[in-house]
Amino acid sequence: MNYLRTLLDDAASAPAPPARVDVELAVRSGTRIVRRRRTAWAVGAASAVVACLVASALVFTPAAQEEPAVPLPAPGFSKVFEPGKKYASFGWLPGGADQTIVETRPEWHRQWVTSGSWQVELRMVTAGHDMELSGTDKDFAVDPAQVDHRWLYRTDPPDGRDVEWNAVRITARDFALRWQYAPGAWIEVAVQNADNPKDLLLDVVNGVRIGEEDVRVPFHLTSPPGRLTGLYIEELGFRWSAGLDYEGGARVTVQSDGATPDSMFDTEVDGKKARLENKYLVVVEPSGVHSHVHLPDGDPVELYRRLRIDR
C-alpha cells in the first residue's frame, strides 16, 4: 500500500517550484479590504471582536510586488467528482510525509499530508458549491449562500480570476489560500505548524497540479452492492487503511491491522476468525489484514465473499 507514499516522496524530492503566488501582494490586497470593512464594523462590540481576529490573521508587512498567479483553471471539470479518483496533486512538499489521507465524495475532494514539523491540507469542491470556511466540518461542501464572505479577502490577479485569503483562524491551520480551479469551483490549500508557514504555503500552492487521476485501492469487489459514493485511503508509517462507500450505506474497508482484540472474534467465515454484529462483519485474513464489511440492508457475509484483496 505504498502508492500514495511514492507520489508524495516524489513531490518531496522535487525542487521548490518557481514563485507564482505573491503572498505579500495578496496580503496587501486583503488589507485594503480589511480597512474598508473595519470602518463598517466599528459599530457594536461584536464587530470589535471580528476586527481583532482579522488583524491577527494578517500580520505581514505590505510590499510592492508583481501580481499573484495560481495554477490555471482546468476546463471541462464535471459538477460531480467520481469517488474512485483524485483531482489534484502536490508537485512539491518540503519533505517526506508521516501520514497521508485522500478522500473523495461526489461534491468534494480532500488530501491531508503531515510530517513532524508541518501539515498541509488541500480541499476542493465541485462547481456550484462553496466551502465551509473553518475546515473543521468533514462534509465541507456547502451552498455558496451559507459562506460568510466577510472572512475572505480578495487579491487582484491580472487575469481577473478570484484568489482569496481565508482569514478564519483555527488551531488546525495557520494560513489558507483559495482560488477557482474551474469556473465556479474552488480549491483551498492550508498549512499548519511550519517554521515559515507563509513561505511553505507559497511553495505548495505553486506546485499544485489540477487534474483527474485514478486512485489505486488495494481491493475490489467482484460485484459492488451499488453505486460508489466515497473513497478513503490513509497511510501512517507502515499502517494503512482503505475504504469504499456505496449507496444505501454499504461500506467495505481493508486495513493493515485492527484494534479488535482476538477475544472478540467469536465466529468464523470460510475458516477465518470473524466477528458479526448488527450487519457489521470483521474478518482476519491469513495475511493479518482485517476486512470490514457493513451492509445495512443485506447479508454482509455474502458481500464479503465478493471481496478480493489485491495486495
Q: For the chain, 311 residues long, give each residue's pLDDT as a single digit of tens.
A: 544 444 445 454 555 444 444 444 444 444 333 333 333 333 343 333 333 333 333 333 223 333 445 555 555 566 789 999 999 999 999 887 889 999 999 999 999 999 888 889 999 999 889 888 877 777 889 898 988 877 787 765 544 456 787 877 665 668 888 888 888 889 999 988 777 788 888 889 889 999 889 999 999 999 999 999 999 999 988 899 999 999 999 999 999 976 667 778 999 999 999 999 999 999 999 999 999 999 999 999 999 999 999 87
Q: Are residues 101 and 128 in the same domain?
A: yes
Residue 105: closest CA among 130, 88, 80, 122: 80
Say if residues 256 and 237 touch (Cβ distance below 8 Å).
Answer: no
Q: Are residues 7 and 130 in the same domain?
A: yes
Say if residues 203 and 95 touch (Cβ distance below 8 Å).
Answer: no
What domain range is 274 assigned to? 219-309
Question: Final residue of a domain: which of 154, 186, 214?
Answer: 214
Question: Final residue of a domain: which of 189, 214, 239?
Answer: 214
Q: Are residues 136 and 238 in the same domain?
A: no
Predicted TM-score (pTM) of the model is 0.73
Q: Are residues 182 and 94 in the same domain?
A: yes
Give 63: exposed, middle or buried? Use CB within 10 Å, 0-12, 13-18, 19+. exposed
Q: Are residues 201 and 232 in the same domain?
A: no
The whole-number pLDDT of residue 147 equals 87
Q: Are residues 64 and 101 in the same domain?
A: yes
- What is the total count of domains within the chain? 2
The whole-number pLDDT of residue 78 equals 63
Question: Final residue of a domain: which of 167, 197, 214?
Answer: 214
Q: Are residues 204 and 239 in the same domain?
A: no
Q: Are residues 203 and 305 in the same domain?
A: no
Q: How far apart are CA 120 and CA 12, in angstroms?
A: 13
Say if residues 115 and 192 touch (Cβ distance below 8 Å).
Answer: no
Q: How far apart are CA 251 and CA 229, in angstroms?
A: 10
For 262, which DSSP code? G
Q: Are residues 123 and 209 in the same domain?
A: yes
Q: Are residues 77 and 172 in the same domain?
A: yes
Q: Are residues 7 and 126 in the same domain?
A: yes
Cell, residue 236: 501512517
Q: Are residues 174 and 30 in the same domain?
A: yes
CA distances from 247 to 230, 241, 276, 308 (A): 9, 20, 21, 20
